[in-house]
Amino acid sequence: MKKIFFLIPVFNDWESLETLIENIHKEIKSINNFEFNCIIINDSSTIQMGNVSKPQTFKNFKILDLKKNIGHARCIASGLRYLVNNEKFDFVILMDGDGEDRPEEIKYLISKATSLDNSSVVAKRVKRSEGFIFKLLYETHKILTFLTTGKKIFFGNYSCLTFKDAKILIEKKTTWSSYSGSVTKNLTNLVEIDSIRGLRYFGPSKMSLIKLVIHSLAIMASFKESVFFRTSLLIAISYFLRELIGPFWLLISIFSLIFMLLVFLVSLREDYLSLINSETNIAQIKSL
C-alpha cells in the first residue's frame, strides 16, 4: 500500500484549514490502496488553533508548531526536511491551507504520479481566480521569469513529490527561498496536470504586491547565474546600439543593474545552514 502525506503550511488561517481538511477528506475517501497522513506546519501563528480534527481517512495527523515565524517558503522547506528525516512515505502532496489549491484535483495528482513510473507532478495554473490587476502582474512575472531564466514556471506550491525528489530538495539551499524555483532547477522529468486556482475559503488574499515581487525575484534568484548572464548581455547589446536608440541605452543599463542587484539581494535568502538546522525551530509536535 502506497503511503501519502499531505504537507500544509498555516499562519493564522485556521478557519480555512478546517474547511480544507473536510474537503480533502471528501475527495480521498473513495481512493483505495493508499494510506493517507497529514502534517500541518504552524508558522508560529498568533491566533489559537480552532476545531481542526483528524478525519477517519487519515491514519496520522500531526501539527508541527514552530518557535518563530519564518514565512511560507521556509515552512515548506522545514516541513519537507522533517518529513524526509522522520517518516517513511511514497509521496508528499504540498498544498496551501486557504483553499486556493483545490482538493478536487488531488485525485489527478495521485493518478498521474503513480501511472508514470512514480514521477513528481506539479499543478500548472491554466486559470486563476484573482482580479484583473493581480492577473496582469502575475503574467508579467511569468514573462519576466522566462526572459531572464529561460524557464517556464507556471506552478506554485501545489504538487505531489516522490520521496526521492523530496530528499533531493531538502539538500538544496534554493528550497529555503523558493519552492517552485528549486523544484524547476533541481528536479528532472517533472510532469504536469492542468489546475484552476481556487478562491480562498475565508478572508482576502495574503499575497500583497510586495510579496508578489519578492516571490518573483526569489524564483529568478534560483537561476541567478542565468539572470546575470542574460541581463549583462542586454546591457552589452544596448551599448552597441546606443547610436540607434539614443539615451535609452543608459536607462536600460541602469534598470538592468538595479534588477541584478535586487536578484542578488533576494538570493541571500538561500541559506543552506538554516535549511539543514530547520528542525531546531520546531517547538512541539502534536498528534490529533
Q: What is the pLDDT of residues 54-95, one digit of tens each?
A: 899 999 999 999 999 999 999 999 999 999 999 999 999 999
Kindly state the percentage of the chain with pLDDT values over 70.
95
Q: What is the pLDDT of residues 223-279, one digit of tens each?
A: 999 999 999 999 999 999 988 888 899 999 999 999 999 999 999 999 999 999 999
Q: What CATH homologous superfamily does 2-129+153-205 map to?
A: Spore Coat Polysaccharide Biosynthesis Protein SpsA; Chain A (3.90.550.10)
Q: Which of 60, 59, 61 is nearest to 17 (CA)?
A: 61
Give the residue extent of every domain in the chain.
2-129+153-205
This prediction's pTM: 0.91
Confidence of residue 146 (pLDDT cuts 50, 70, 90): confident
Helices (H), the chain: 14-28, 72-86, 106-115, 132-149, 163-169, 179-186, 209-221, 224-240, 242-245, 248-267, 272-276
Phi, psi dihedral angles at 238 (to 5 degrees): -65, -35
pLDDT at 148 over 60: yes
Instruction: For the beta carbon of residue 216, count every other beta carbon within 10 angstroms.
Output: 22
